[in-house]
Amino acid sequence: MIDKKTEQNHTNKNILVIHGPNLNMLGIREPGIYGNSTLADLENYIKEEGNKLSLSTTFFQSNHEGAIVDAIQEGFSKFDGIIINAGAYTHTSIAILDSLKAVDIPTIEVHLSDISNREFFRKFSYISFIAKKTIYGMGFLGYKKALEYFSI
């Protein structure tokens, strides 16, 4: 399931990049907040930046909480790190938090927009309880920063 878009480049670390609900709508959804770039553009950017850092990236996107939990669990002992933008599940999903805790893979939380300057309910993140770092408001660059964390 999570290996459908794996990019292998004979690297030393494998990183699972998880995109949550509505990220498949990038380029269409609220361009004033998220811009005009698509999810494919974002994944190409992440792949290129990962290659520069000798990181292999695997992508997974779902609008379904259980599918995200399954992808995290399937990543157990297969990945050296997880970069996750859980979308709205960031603010609601104890199940995603628990799955990240269960697999104990270092995790970086990333958000394209500045969640601290949006609706009040976006200021809280369950994932932040387990994340080594939370990056928000930097657009695509936030993913580069997350990759840099794993390149050390």
Locate 140 and state its tokens: 């695509």
DSSP-assigned states of every residue in 12-72: SEEEEEEE-TTGGGTTTS-HHHH-S--HHHHHHHHHHHHHHTTEEEEEEE-S-HHHHHHHH
Q: Phi/psi of residue 122, each to 5°?
A: -85, -5
Active centre residues (catalytic): 34, 111
